[in-house]
Amino acid sequence: MAAASAPAPEPAAVTPHAPEQPKPKPKWQTYGTPLLVVLLAAAVVLTITRNWNAWEGGHIEQVTDDAYVRGDLTPLSTKVAGIVRDVRVSDYQEVHKGELIVALDDDDYKAQVAQASAAVEAAKAAIEDNRRQRDLQDAKIDRALAGIDQAHAEITAAQAGIEAAQADVTRTKQERTRQESLMQTRSTTQQKVEQAVADQERLAAQLASRQADLEQAKALLRSDELAAEAERRAKAVLESQDAQLVADLHAKEAAVTVAQVNLGYTTIEAPGDGTVGERQVRPGQLVSPGTQVISFVSKIKWVQANYRETQLTNVKVGDAAELAVDEYPGRVFHGKVLEIAPASGSQFALLPPDNATGNYTKVVQRIPVKIALDDPSVAASLRPGLSVVATVRTRQ
């Protein structure tokens, strides 16, 4: 029997080679790199927050896409009530200054003009009648003054007659006394005595008549003076009425002007060269004052760019601008800064913000900048409301 084979010897165990342990890094290498990154980030943040506004405002080109084409958009409305007689334009039609757009029925307003004109003529006739009455009063005053002069002459004549009659009365009285004395001595005749008495009584009667004439002349003088004063007062009344009539004439003339103005309001004309919008009235429609009939868009256009307040550090009036209108891609229009608003847009809002109430969060404000286009024909072709990217060059 074969001998059993001896078991194979087990291979010797191989001991693995142990990896070398890395040497520990210094602490400055372990924590230095993240710390350096943090410090750099903090420096960048600090620099940006402290100098960002200065960097932004110092750029040569200030760009904003918060810009739009603007134009004078005027709603044309009625000033007087009436019925629309004719609408002479169609929607979006180009019109010229003074061109008739809408006409109202003007028969009533023409009648008002005629009525006011007739009132003016009546006022002028009243003034002419007053002038003639004053002329008549002047004639009456002249006649009264002539009567006064005549009365003065009659008084003078009466006084002269009284003086003459008084002398004759004195003379005849003395003659009568002498004749009566001679009659007592039988040195004269009875006939001469009677003659002396008759002469003395006749001249005494003439003296009394002259005195009566004087009193009558004085009464006539007083009457003429009163008449002259009455005529003067009547003329003063007419003169005061003249001032009132002139004022009434001016009022009537103003009424004519008002009527003519209202008549002019029955036609609505284009205030300038431009384009109208959509018609809002039709013939036969009854309109009241303030009814909007159509909108008018002027040919004059400009761009309003709303720049952030931090962008306007060096922007000034007259700076050149480049405008890219979305409607015309690839084209650049040139212009210049015409005006810069005196306040931010929020201050012109219907309800301006009041930061004194509640919590406060700072928001960068925007300032409207008006940019005029260099080419008027280009401006006329643009439409208000179009979006624009505006670039202002703060220095050449």
Is residue 189 domain-shared with residue 64, that is, in the same domain?
A: no
Band the pLDDT of 56: cuts 50, 70, 90: low
Q: What is the pLDDT of residues 228-245, one digit of tens each?
A: 788 888 888 888 888 889
Using the predicted structure, report yes or no on whether residue 139 has a pLDDT greater than 70: yes
Which of 246, 172, 165 is CA-nearest to residue 210? 165
**Cα(290)–Cα(167) distance, integer angstroms:** 98
Q: Is residue 8 over pLDDT 50? A: no
Same domain, 151 and 194: yes
Q: Cα–Cα distance between 99 and 272 in angstroms, integer?
A: 9
User: Comparing 42-46, 236-240, 256-260, 316-320, which segment has the lowest mean pLDDT?
Assistant: 42-46
pLDDT range class, residue 4, cuts 50, 70, 90: very low
**Portion of the chain with pLDDT greater than 90, in percent:** 45
| Residue 51 forms part of a structural domain | no
Is 327 inside any structural domain? yes
User: Residue 169's CB: how many other CB atoms inside 10 A?
Assistant: 21
The string of pLDDT tens digits covering residues 159-203 is 777 777 777 677 777 766 776 677 676 666 677 767 777 776 777
Cβ 314 vs Cβ 340: under 8 Å = no
Q: Among 38-42, 81-85, 369-373, which stretch is predicted with the lowest mean pLDDT? A: 38-42
| Domain identity same for 217 and 161 | yes
Instruction: Determine contact, residues 118/188, Cβ cutoff 8 Å.
Output: no
Measured distance CA(200)–CA(195) in Å, rounded? 9
Quick check: is 374 in a domain? yes
Q: Are residues 117 and 87 in the same domain?
A: no
- 71 and 115 share a domain? no
Give the three-class secondary structure for 355.
coil
For 98-133, b where at least 16 C-beta lie within 10 A, e where not — what string? eeebbbbebeebeebbeebbebbeebeebbeebeeb
The per-residue pLDDT for 205 is 76
pLDDT category at 12 given cuts 50, 70, 90 is: very low
Q: What would the mean pLDDT of 149-154 be, rounded to a whole number?
A: 78
Q: Say whether 100 sits in a helix, a strand or coil.
A: strand
Rounded to an integer, what distance in angstroms lies between the CA atom of residue 16 and that of residue 337? 84
Q: Which residues contact 167 (CB under 8 A, 6 or more apart)?
A: none
- Please check whether residue 76 is in contact with residue 393, taking contact to mean a CB–CB distance below 8 angstroms: no
Q: How long is the chain?
A: 396
Evaluate whether residue 387 is within a structural domain.
yes
Q: Which of 210, 240, 264 lies at the terminal end of a domain, its last residue?
A: 264
For residues 227 and 268, the model is more confident at 268
* Poorest-pLDDT segment among 99-103, 225-229, 282-286: 225-229
Query: Which of 264, 281, 305 lies at the terminal end of a domain, its last residue?
Result: 264
Least confident of 27-36, 85-94, 132-141, 312-321: 27-36
The dihedral of CA 252, 255, 261, 265: what is its sign?
negative
pLDDT of res. 275: 94
Mean pLDDT, residues 35-55 taken together: 67
> Is the confidence at residue 138, as pLDDT, over 90?
no
- Give me the pLDDT at residue 2, please: 39
Query: Does 219 share its domain with 253?
Result: yes
DSSP state of 345: G
Q: What is the pLDDT of residues 322-370, one digit of tens each?
A: 999 999 999 999 999 999 999 988 888 888 887 777 778 888 899 999 9
Pick the range with the lowest mean pLDDT from 36-40, 286-290, 369-373, 381-385.
Answer: 36-40
CB atoms within 10 A of CB 335: 22
Between the CA atoms of 232, 233, 234 and 235, what dihedral angle is there, to the nearest 10 degrees? 50
pLDDT at residue number 351:
83
Q: Are 76 and 113 members of one domain?
A: no
Distance between terminal CA atoms of the chain?
A: 118
Q: 89 or 156, which is more confident?
A: 89
**Ramachandran area for residue 266 (φ above 0: left; ψ -120 to 50: alpha; else beta):** alpha
Nearest-angstrom CA–CA distance, 370 and 341 = 8
Average pLDDT, the chain: 82
253 inside domain: yes
3-state secondary structure string across 59-92: CCEEEEEEEEEEEEEEEEECCCCEEEEEECCCCC
Q: What is the mean pLDDT of residues 115-143?
A: 90
Q: At what angle do helices 107-184 and 190-264 cross, to 10 degrees?
A: 170
Question: Identity (one letter) of the amino acid at 118?
Answer: A
Residue 330 lies in a domain: yes
* 238 and 139 inside one domain: yes
CATH assignment at residue 95: 2.40.30.170
Burial 346-358 (b: 16+ CB within 10 A, else e): eeeeeeeeeeeee
389 and 308 belong to one structural domain = yes
What CATH number has the domain bearing residue 170? 1.10.287.620
Domain termination residue (choose one: 264, 299, 333): 264
Query: Considering the domain boundaries, does residue 15 fall inside one?
Result: no
More confident residue, 216 or 292: 292
Give the pLDDT band of residue 217 (cuts 50, 70, 90): confident
State how many domains the chain has: 2
CA atoms lying within 13 Å on the CB side of residue 132? 5
Do 169 and 216 sit in the same domain of this protein? yes
Residues 250 and 284 in one domain: no
For residue 306, what are the contacts with CB-CB under 8 A and spacing of at least 6? 64, 66, 67, 345, 366, 367, 368, 369
**In the predicted model, is pLDDT for residue 13 greater than 50?**
no
**Do residues 331 and 235 both lie within one domain?**
no
240 in a structural domain: yes
Whole domain around residue 214: which residue ranges? 108-264
